[in-house]
C-alpha cells in the first residue's frame, strides 16, 4: 500500500505525520520524500544514506552546421525552449520539458540529445525503514520529472509513506497520483481550512480515498470540523496544540519518539488508514 | 519601482501573516499574492473584486475516439506516460499530460485535439490596505510560473498607472517554478524562516536560489523563542553569508487570533509583537532605500 501525506497549506505538519507514521507502521515500510524542492523528512528520520545518483532530463543540443533554419523545432516546441533567430537555431535547455518533439521533427538531424541535471535521487535506511528521497537542484524549475525518477526506486515489497509537497498544482498531484490513500494534514485556522478545501478539490479527480489529520487542534476556529461533517471527509486523528510537539519538531525528533504518549494514537491512525483503503476496495467491487 | 517579495522555502513559517502586516504598515503600494495555487492573503484583506479575468495557458491532448485508428504512435512517443491503452482504446490521462503536442503533431490520423487550457482566474481588487493583484489557479493545474509572471506584470502596470512606488508580494513555498518566477528581477527578497531543522534547511536552499538569481535578500526569524539556540545558529549562518537579519519575531498565538478575525497582527495588537513587526518593516524600508540609492 502507498500512503501519501499531503496538504494544501505548507507547514501544517505533513512531515511530522509522515515521520511518525513510518515509525508506527505495522509492517515493512519505506519513507519517501517527494517534496523534492524542500525535502525535510531526512531531518527527522536521520537515515544512513547508502547511495544516490544524479537524475537528468534529456534536452536539445542544436548543431548550427546541420540546421537549415526550417523552424520545425520552434513550431513544435510549446515551451519556447528552442527557436530560430534568422539563420541561427538557439536552444534554451532550462526551459525544456523534455518531450523530445524538436529532435523527432528536425528533418536534418541538427538536434541531438544533451542532459540537464534535475537533482539527486538518494536512498538509505532509517532503522528498519527504507528511505528514499529526491533533492531538486537549486535553480531547477520543474519538480515532477525528478519525482518520476524517485518513484522508479520504490521497493514494491514494502508499503510506502510519501511526504508530498504543499500546494494544489502539478507537484503535489504528481506526488499523490500513485497513492492508494491520501492523508491530508491541516490546522484549524482560516488559512488551513481554505487550503485544505483546495487540496481536496485538486485530488478529488484521482478518485482516491482521503482522510484528514487535524494538527494543532485547539488553535484557531472550527471551520475545518464543520467542513468534515458537512462533506463526509473522515477525521482520522487530532494532534493537540502542544508546545512539546513543537519543541520535539524544532529539535529534529519524531513526535512519537519524543512524546511516547502519542504512540497509541499513531498506531490507531495506521489502522484507520488501512481501513480507508479496504473500504475503498469494497466500494469499488460493489460498483 | 521597488518590488519586495516575501518567500520562505518552507511553508507555514508566517509569510502571509507578515505580508499582511507589512501591507498595513506600508504607504503607496500595490499588493500582490504570488502563491497562486494556495493563496491566502485575500482571507486577511477581504478584497472588493474590481476586475476578474480568465487565465488560459498551455494545452492538453485529447484523443478523438471516432478518428483514432489505434495505431499506438502516440503511446510510443509520449515521454510522460500520459497515454494509456484501455483495451485497444487509447486515452490521454489529463493529469499526466504535459501539453507538449508531440502526439498531436505526429498522429497519422490527425485524431488528437489540442484545446487550450483554462487554468485559473486573476483579479485586481481594492482592499483596506490598497490595491491588490491576485489569482486562483484551478486545483490541479500547472503553469503557475506563467501566472506569477502575469500577476507581476499587472502589478507593475497598476503601480505605474496610480503613481505608486512599491510592490509588496507574498510568494509561494518551495524553490521551483512559481518561486523562480516570483524572484527573477525583484528588488528585495525577504526570507521568513523559523528555528526548526526544516525551517533552516529550506531557508538555506531558497537563499541559494535568490543568490543564484543575484537578488538582494534579508532574513526574518519568526517564532524565534521556540528554539533560541537554533535561532542564534540561523543568525550566525546569515552573518557568514552576509545576509542581514532584518529582525526576529516571537511565537505569538495572536497571529492566529488575528487571522480568525480576518485581521493582521498590527491591527489586532496595539503594542507587543506588533511593535516588533513595525521595527522589521522599518529596517526593510531602510535596506530598500539603500538599494534604491545604489
Do A166 and B175 lie within an 8 Å CB cutoff? no
pTM score, two decimals?
0.95
Do A191 and B16 lie within an 8 Å CB cutoff? yes
Grid cell at residue B163: 503613481
Residue of A nearest to B17 (CA): A191
Q: Give the CATH number of domain B2-57+120-293.
A: 3.40.50.300
Whether A188 and chain B come into contact, CB under 8 Å, resolves to no
Selected residue of A37, A47, A75, A245 to mutate for chain B interface (largest B Cβ count, 10 A): A37
| Ramachandran quadrant class, A253 (left: phi over 0; alpha: psi -120 to 50; beta: rest) | beta
Q: Are A171 and A37 in contact (CB under 8 A)?
A: yes
User: What architecture (CATH level 2) is domain A2-28+158-286?
Assistant: 3-Layer(aba) Sandwich (3.40)
Q: Are A160 and A131 in contact (CB under 8 A)?
A: no
| Distances from the Cα of A206 to the Cα of A37, A172, B23, B137, angstroms | 23, 12, 38, 18
- Per-residue pLDDT for A287 more than 60? no
Which element (helix H / strand E) includes B267?
helix B265-268
pLDDT at site A278 = 86
Which element (helix H / strand E) includes A56?
strand A48-62
Do B40 and A170 lie within an 8 Å CB cutoff? no
pLDDT at site B144 = 87
Do B43 and A12 lie within an 8 Å CB cutoff? no
Grid cell at residue A94: 532550462
- Chain A CB contacts of B11 below 8 Å: 9-12, 166
B128: Cα within 13 Å, side-chain hemisphere: 14
What does pLDDT average to over chain A? 95
What phi and psi values does residue A96 have, to the nearest 5 degrees?
Answer: -70, 140
Q: Where are the alpha helices (DSSP H) in B84-143?
A: 102-106
- Chain A CB contacts of B214 below 8 Å: none
Of the candidates A78, A140, A170, which has its C-beta nearest B101's C-beta?
A78
pLDDT at site A225 = 96
Residue A194 makes CB contacts below 8 A (sequence gap 6+) with A8, A9, B38, B40, B43
Grid cell at residue B203: 531557508
Q: CA-to-CA distance for B12 and B10, rounded, in angstroms?
A: 7
Q: CA-to-CA distance for A217 and B92, rounded, in angstroms?
A: 41
Most distant pair of Cα atoms in chain B: their distance: 72
Q: Are A90 and A82 in contact (CB under 8 A)?
A: yes
Residue count of chain A: 287
pLDDT at site B139 = 86
Q: CA-to-CA distance for B292 and B216, rounded, in angstroms?
A: 12
pLDDT confidence bin for A286, thresholds 50/70/90: low
pLDDT mean over A230-253? 94
Nearest residue to B176 (alpha-carbon basis) of B200, B219, B206, B203: B206
Q: What is the pLDDT of residues A105-129, one digit of tens each?
A: 999 999 999 999 999 999 999 999 9
Beta strand extents in chain B (DSSP E only): 2-7, 29-33, 48-59, 62-63, 83-86, 89-92, 112-113, 116-127, 130-137, 166-170, 188-193, 217-221, 244-248
Whether A60 and chain B come into contact, CB under 8 Å, resolves to no
Question: Which residue is listed with cell 505605474?
Answer: B160
Nearest residue to A236 (alpha-carbon basis) of A29, A17, A9: A17
pLDDT at site B292 = 82
Distance from CA of B161 to the nearest CA of A (A): 30
Grid cell at residue B253: 498565538
- Chain A CB contacts of B102 below 8 Å: 76, 99-101, 104
Name which of A36-50, A125-139, A240-254, B158-172 the model is least confident about: A240-254
3-state secondary structure of B32: strand
DSSP per-residue string spanning B179-234: HHHHHTT-SEEEEEE-SSHHHHHHHHHHHHHHHHTT--EEEEETTGGG-HHHHHHH
- 10 Å Cβ neighbour count for A88? 11
Q: Are A62 and A89 in contact (CB under 8 A)?
A: yes
Q: CA-to-CA distance for B100 and B228, rounded, in angstroms?
A: 49
Would you kindly state where each structural domain of chain A is located, as residue ranges? 2-28+158-286, 58-117
User: What architecture (CATH level 2) is domain B61-114?
Assistant: 2-Layer Sandwich (3.30)
Do A170 and B141 lie within an 8 Å CB cutoff? yes
Q: Are B85 and B75 in contact (CB under 8 A)?
A: yes
What's the average pLDDT block by block, 10 residues per block, for chain B (294 residues)? 96 97 97 96 97 96 96 95 92 92 98 96 98 94 89 98 97 94 95 97 98 97 96 98 97 95 97 97 94 83
Q: Does the domain made of A58-117 have the CATH classification 3.30.70.20? A: yes
Neighbouring-strand partners of residue A217: A219, A240
Distance from CA of B163 to the nearest CA of A (A): 32
Q: Are A233 and A210 in contact (CB under 8 A)?
A: yes
Grid cell at residue A142: 520543474
pLDDT at site B146 = 93
Distance from CA of A149 to the nearest CA of B (A): 12
Would you kindly state where each structural domain of chain B is located, as residue ranges? 2-57+120-293, 61-114
Do B226 and A250 lie within an 8 Å CB cutoff? yes
Of the candidates B10, B139, B197, which has its C-beta nearest A168's C-beta?
B139
ipTM over 0.90: yes
Residue A271 makes CB contacts below 8 A (sequence gap 6+) with none
Do A169 and B142 lie within an 8 Å CB cutoff? yes
Amino acid at each position: 500500500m502507498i500512503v501519501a501525506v499531503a496538504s494544501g497549506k505548507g507547514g501544517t505538519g505533513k512531515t511530522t505525520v509522515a515521520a511518525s507514521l513510518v515509525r508506527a507502521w505495522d509492517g515493512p515500510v519505506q519513507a519517501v520524500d517527494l517534496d523534492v524542492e524542500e525535502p525535510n523528512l531526512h531531518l527527522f528520520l536521520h537515515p544512513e544514506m547508502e547511495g544516490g545518483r544524479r537524475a537528468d532530463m534529456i534536452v536539445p543540443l542544436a548543431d548550427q552546421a546541420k540546421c537549415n533554419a526550417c523552424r520545425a523545432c520552434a513550431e513544435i516546441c510549446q515551451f519556447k525552449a528552442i527557436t530560430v533567430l534568422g539563420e541561427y537555431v538557439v536552444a534554451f535547455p532550462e526551459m525544456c520539458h523534455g518531450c523530445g518533439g524538436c529532435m523527432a521533427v528536425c528533418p536534418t538531424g541538427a538536434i541531438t540529445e544533451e542532459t540537464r541535471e534535475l537533482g539527486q535521487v538518494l536512498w538509505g535506511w532509517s532503522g528498519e525503514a527504507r528511505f528514499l528521497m529526491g533533492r531538486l537542484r537549486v535553480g531547477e524549475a520543474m519538480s515532477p520529472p525528478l519525482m518520476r525518477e524517485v518513484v522508479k526506486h520504490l521497493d514494491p515489497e514494502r508499503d510506502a509513506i510519501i511526504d508530498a509537497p504543499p500546494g494544489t498544482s502539478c507537484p503535489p498531484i504528481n506526488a499523490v497520483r500513485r497513492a492508494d490513500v491520501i492523508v491530508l494534514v491541516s490546522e484549524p485556522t482560516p488559512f488551513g481550512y481554505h487550503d485544505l478545501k483546495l487540496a481536496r478539490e485538486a485530488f478529488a479527480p484521482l478518485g482516491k480515498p482521503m482522510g484528514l489529520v487535524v494538527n494543532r487542534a485547539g488553535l484557531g476556529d472550527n471551520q475545518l470540523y464543520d467542513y468534515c461533517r458537512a462533506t463526509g471527509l473522515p477525521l482520522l486523528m487530532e494532534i493537540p496544540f502542544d508546545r512539546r510537539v513543537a519543541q520535539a519538531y524544532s529539535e529534529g525528533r519524531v513526535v512519537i519518539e519524543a512524546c511516547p504518549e502519542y504512540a497509541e494514537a499513531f498506531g490507531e491512525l495506521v489502522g484507520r488508514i488501512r481501513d480507508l483503503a479496504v473500504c475503498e476496495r469494497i466500494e469499488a467491487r460493489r460498483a | 519601482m521597488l518590488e519586495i517579495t516575501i518567500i520562505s522555502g518552507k511553508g507555514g513559517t508566517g509569510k502571509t501573516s507578515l505580508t499582511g502586516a507589512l501591507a498595513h504598515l506600508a504607504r503607496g503600494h500595490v499588493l500582490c499574492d504570488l502563491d497562486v495555487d494556495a493563496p491566502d492573503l485575500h482571507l486577511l484583506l477581504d478584497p472588493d473584486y474590481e476586475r476578474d479575468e480568465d487565465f488560459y495557458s498551455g494545452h492538453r491532448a485529447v484523443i478523438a475516439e471516432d478518428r483514432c485508428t489505434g495505431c499506438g504512435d502516440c503511446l510510443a512517443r509520449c515521454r510522460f506516460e500520459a497515454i494509456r491503452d484501455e483495451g485497444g482504446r487509447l486515452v490521454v490521462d489529463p493529469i499526466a499530460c504535459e501539453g507538449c503536442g508531440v502526439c498531436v503533431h505526429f498522429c497519422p490520423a490527425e485524431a488528437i485535439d489540442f484545446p487550450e487550457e483554462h487554468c485559473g482566474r486573476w483579479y485586481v481588487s481594492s482592499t483596506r490596505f490598497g490595491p491588490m493583484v491576485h489569482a486562483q489557479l484551478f486545483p490541479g493545474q500547472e503553469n503557475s510560473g506563467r501566472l506569477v509572471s502575469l500577476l507581476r506584470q499587472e502589478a507593475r502596470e497598476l503601480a505605474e498607472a496610480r503613481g505608486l512606488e512599491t510592490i509588496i508580494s507574498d510568494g509561494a513555498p518551495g524553490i521551483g517554478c512559481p518561486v523562480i518566477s516570483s524572484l527573477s528581477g525583484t528588488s528585495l527578497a525577504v526570507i521568513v524562516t523559523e528555528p526548526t531543522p526544516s525551517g533552516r534547511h529550506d531557508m538555506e536552499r531558497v537563499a541559494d536560489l535568490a543568490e543564484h538569481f543575484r537578488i538582494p535578500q534579508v532574513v526574518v526569524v519568526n517564532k524565534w523563542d521556540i528554539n533560541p539556540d537554533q535561532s542564534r545558529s540561523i543568525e550566525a549562518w546569515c552573518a557568514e553569508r552576509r545576509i542581514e537579519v532584518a529582525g526576529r519575531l516571537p511565537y505569538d498565538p495572536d497571529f492566529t487570533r488575528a487571522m480568525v478575525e480576518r485581521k493582521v497582527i498590527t491591527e489586532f495588537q496595539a503594542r507587543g509583537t506588533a511593535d516588533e513587526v513595525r521595527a522589521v518593516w522599518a529596517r526593510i524600508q531602510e535596506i530598500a532605500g539603500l538599494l534604491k540609492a545604489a
